[in-house]
Structure 1
Amino acid sequence: MNPKARNQPALHIIPREQHTISRKNISKAALRVLYRLNEAGYNAYLVGGAVRDLLLGGHPKDFDVATNATPDEVKKLFRNCRLIGRRFRLAHVVYGNEIIEVATFRGTSDEQREGDRHIVDGRIVRDNVWGTIEEDALRRDFRVNAMYYDVSDFSVRDYVGGMEDLQDRVLRLIGDPATRYREDPVRMLRAARLAAKLDFHIDPEASAPFAELGPLLSSVAAARLFDESLKMFLTGHGLKSFHMLEECGLLKFLFPATARALKRGDRALRSLIEQGLENTDARISEGKSVTPAFLFAVLLWGEVRDLAHTWSTLGKDATDAWSRAAAHVVAEQCQRVAIPRRFTITMEEIWSLQPRFEQIQRKKVFRLLAHPRFRAAFDFLLLRSAESPAISELWQWWRHAQQLPHDTLAAALPLHHPGGDLDTTRERERERAPRKRKRRRKPTAGKSGAS
């Protein structure tokens, strides 16, 4: 497509009989918002990912609305509305647990327009300039995300060729790719994520700037990259997203420790990461719970393991080596992706419990079984079982141990590791009750005087 054509919107209306969107697949809350805005005299459309997914036969969870009503005008119409955002001013209309995001059409220029826009080094840090629907379409990222569903006549309005891209299963940016990535570097990650989710390919023109502009991701707020990571890895297409990040050369900008560890050519580590992501995708498809802590522990394991082994060989205490390795890797990663402390604590516990699985001693076995993170650490050990036959055998032993009655397991375990110091005296002293001190006998009268 001619790049200049992307900046010249040409409306193509797809009537109801030529597309697959049905109101029965649209959230009732979203329909209420659309009808209420129309009844009040405003133009309002379902827009973005929901329209895209409905056209592909999917079932979107989130529904966004675009309108010519300003945020303040939306708030006047809905008592259940709150205004949010500084970078992008939005209205959230709340129905129970569902939030319908309502955005005012954004303009392409701030000349003689209501609102404000602030750009620093090509990056949009605030964008609240209102415009027309044609301008709003040009301001969106990918052509497949710039289609509007009109509830008044059930048609789809396509200004930039989004329907063509859906049919070709390709992601094309609207406008000059380098400029759009400088405006918002996260668009590079979004390209990889959408390509994985939709099983699309990225237009070569859209992927060409990745190598040059990937470092711009370091300027993005770490908290925002955490949210993007969750969308990428915890929505059912994590393994494909991981492969797409590698293919696009973007993994090193998001998870540098992971990229370094994989670059060392460790096949067992790659197997662990891919199996962990595949298992997470399977749990999500089955409606089971997942936690970001386990996923991040999987992604960062290689660097933690290698650092801990390095420091141990340099004479560091094993426990201290693992603790320092975990703290080092987490600190580096949190500069890129702001993983909340409640998750990093769990990650560090999963890692620190791994060497404890090798300590087959009675007290240590029962302490580990009682640890609140035992199940997560044991599941992690299963992923590690591909590393070597010894770890596989270790996992088998712990699986069997959990099936034994307490007394049977206790009787089968030594007080000390067979290869260690079998000094049982100290163990007995710990188990024995404290001794009572003997009273000193008072001297007799015959021995108390001078000789």
Structure 2
Amino acid sequence: MPDMLGHTAPDLETRKDFDRLNPTARNDAKLALRIFPREQHTISRKNISKAALRVLYRLNEAGYDAYLVGGAVRDLLLGGHPKDFDVATNATPEEVKKLFRNCRLIGRRFRLAHVVYGTEIIEVATFRGASEEEGVEGDRHIVDGRIVRDNVWGSIEEDALRRDFRVNAMYYDISDFSVRDYVGGMQDLQNGVLHLIGDSATRYREDPVRMLRAVRLAAKLDFRIDPSASAPFAQLGPLLSNVAPARLFDESLKMFLAGYGRKSFRMLEECGLLKFMFPATARALRRGDKALRALIEQGLENTDARVAEGKSVTPAFLFAVLLWGEVRDLAHTWSTQGKDVNEAWSRAAVHVVAEQCQRVAIPRRFTITMEEIWSLQPRFEQIQRKKVFRLLTHPRFRAAFDFLLLRAAESPAIGELGQWWAHAQQLPHETLAAALPLHQANSASDAEPVRATAPRKRKRRRKPTTGKSGAA
């Protein structure tokens, strides 16, 4: 039957075809190939990296099927500029390696070929299959519904059904520059909606991280998540606790440091998944602290702006923002119980970081910076000459000061403190020293006002002149 574009496509919805697929595919997913020729889509080769084109052409010339696939196809169709280009082929990893001297094979869980051109890596994946028939090449291992190893090769049709979202299951064919859509991804792009391929609950059990990808992709594309894809979140969200913390760290970076962090955070909270990723953050926000919410959203917005401007961003500052509420509350509780202030802040930081790393494995190089940013916050209140200059020279002063500015919504006093330190940094050393007390003032406003005027220069005394005889 001709499709809506007038092109005929093979009817793949037969008993024989679906018996070869896994139960997920048979229960819900339907294959109905639509082919969009070059004149009916917006993908241009000039927007595809040269390295990806070289891989595609080489595979095609060697007699293999070669397709650009996944997020690159999706973003190109939406007019974006992908950073990564993935290739799907019927060539096995070993066959790919024979074609490219600059290729290395990676992974046991998912066997892949990486073709390296300078700093760019083109990931080449063999079509994944769903059949478990005897004699099929490869192996698959499933534990409690989770796919822990998947190296069964198959057809492009099977590969399409194995992908997560419909918008990620379109293939750009280098042989004729057409786009092949097996599951309705093009329609979802037009409607701005995300559908999972297959039964949502089963697909999330296979890989719980798909729930986070749904949130991240919806935030990035400004799409909505179809209710059939979001309904299982409440029941299956706890499965995220079984995901390797290191993997969740990578997912959190993709979610919060790619330019749409604030939107991702809001969707994560709305979908009920925040508590499984950042339990301390969720607890603090449930206490109704509006200032904390303002701090988090402003911090994420600032990060998004830096990414948009091409500036560097650090995970340490972001995680310090997300976990601040719990650290602050614990430190205040322990300090009011009579513990030394510095010890209270140190214990609070260690406690919160330890809990968080059980869910998201934040590397030590970042947690050290986080702890320094937090521990410096009470030191901003110590307006004393030696302590002020010691803080100004601290390696983490700038990050801690930026954090202080984010805290302005906590109270008028914190806002004034931020203004005081901002002004103090603009003054010459002598002017600032003259305005500061030797001993601790109660607050920044109690200290002698910091004036911008430079100190009066002392006149240099002239040396006495001597007479011709040399007498004074």
| Superposition TM-score, scaled by structure 2 size | 0.88
- Where does 1:20-31 land on structure 2 (aligned, <5 Å)? 20-31=42-53
Match of 1:448 in 2: none
Measured after TM superposition, the shift of residue 7 of structure 1 is: 2.9
Match of 2:384 in 1: 361
The answer on 1:187 being equivalent to 2:210 is yes
- Where does 1:31-430 land on structure 2 (aligned, <5 Å)? 31-111=53-133, 112-419=135-442
Separation (CA, whole Å) in 2 of partners of 1:303 and 1:8: 47
Separation (CA, whole Å) in 2 of partners of 1:73 and 1:419: 73
SS at match of 1:65: strand
Measured after TM superposition, the shift of residue 42 of structure 1 is: 0.5
Q: Which runs of 5+ in 1 are unaligned?
A: 421-451
Match of 1:432 in 2: none
Q: Is the contact between residue 123 and residue 184 of structure 1 (CA under 8 Å) also seen in structure 2?
A: yes
Separation (CA, whole Å) in 2 of partners of 1:344 and 1:409: 33
Q: Is the contact between residue 382 and residue 441 of structure 2 (CA under 8 Å) also seen in structure 1?
A: no
Q: Is the contact between residue 37 and residue 43 of structure 1 (CA under 8 Å) also seen in structure 2?
A: yes
Separation (CA, whole Å) in 2 of partners of 1:132 and 1:388: 61
Which 4+ stretches in 1 moved above 4 angstroms? 3-6
Separation (CA, whole Å) in 2 of partners of 1:403 and 1:167: 52
- Where does 1:425-444 land on structure 2 (aligned, <5 Å)? none
Q: Which runs of 5+ in 2 are unaligned?
A: 1-24, 444-472
Q: Is the contact between residue 297 and residue 350 of structure 1 (CA under 8 Å) also seen in structure 2?
A: yes
Measured after TM superposition, the shift of residue 371 of structure 1 is: 0.0
Separation (CA, whole Å) in 1 of partners of 2:26 and 2:132: 21
SS at match of 1:115: coil
Q: Which amino acid aligns with 1:413?
A: L
SS at match of 1:114: coil
Q: Is the contact between residue 29 and residue 199 of structure 2 (CA under 8 Å) also seen in structure 1?
A: no
Separation (CA, whole Å) in 2 of partners of 1:416 and 1:76: 74
- Residue deviations 1:8-54, cap 9 Å, x none? 31211011111100000001000000000001110010000000000
Separation (CA, whole Å) in 1 of partners of 2:441 and 2:37: 78
Separation (CA, whole Å) in 1 of partners of 2:82 and 2:266: 24
- Residue deviations 1:126-165, cap 9 Å, x none? 0000000000000000000000000111100001111111
Separation (CA, whole Å) in 1 of partners of 2:189 and 2:431: 62
Q: Is the contact between residue 69 and residue 172 of structure 2 (CA under 8 Å) also seen in structure 1?
A: yes
Separation (CA, whole Å) in 1 of partners of 2:349 and 2:369: 11
Separation (CA, whole Å) in 2 of partners of 1:125 and 1:15: 37
Q: Identical aligned pairs, as a percentage?
A: 87
CA RMSD, 1 decimal: 1.1
- Residue deviations 1:239-277, cap 9 Å, x none? 000011011110000010000000000000000000000
Measured after TM superposition, the shift of residue 417 of structure 1 is: 1.1
Separation (CA, whole Å) in 1 of partners of 2:279 and 2:52: 40
Measured after TM superposition, the shift of residue 279 of structure 1 is: 0.2
Separation (CA, whole Å) in 2 of partners of 1:8 and 1:370: 63
Q: Is the contact between residue 6 and residue 160 of structure 1 (CA under 8 Å) also seen in structure 2?
A: no
- Residue deviations 1:80-107, cap 9 Å, x none? 1111111111000000110000000000
Separation (CA, whole Å) in 1 of partners of 2:136 and 2:246: 31
Measured after TM superposition, the shift of residue 109 of structure 1 is: 1.9
SS at match of 2:75: helix
Separation (CA, whole Å) in 1 of partners of 2:440 and 2:73: 62
- Residue deviations 1:205-230, cap 9 Å, x none? 10000000000000000000000000
Separation (CA, whole Å) in 2 of partners of 1:399 and 1:10: 62
Q: Is the contact between residue 142 and residue 174 of structure 1 (CA under 8 Å) also seen in structure 2?
A: yes
- Residue deviations 1:108-139, cap 9 Å, x none? 12223111100000000000000000000000
Q: Which amino acid aligns with 1:198?
A: L
Q: Which amino acid aligns with 1:417?
A: Q
Separation (CA, whole Å) in 2 of partners of 1:29 and 1:291: 29
Q: Which amino acid aligns with 1:150?
A: D
Q: Which amino acid aligns with 2:172?
A: Y
Separation (CA, whole Å) in 1 of partners of 2:362 and 2:182: 39
- Where does 1:7-22 land on structure 2 (aligned, <5 Å)? 7-22=29-44
Q: Which amino acid aligns with 1:266?
A: D
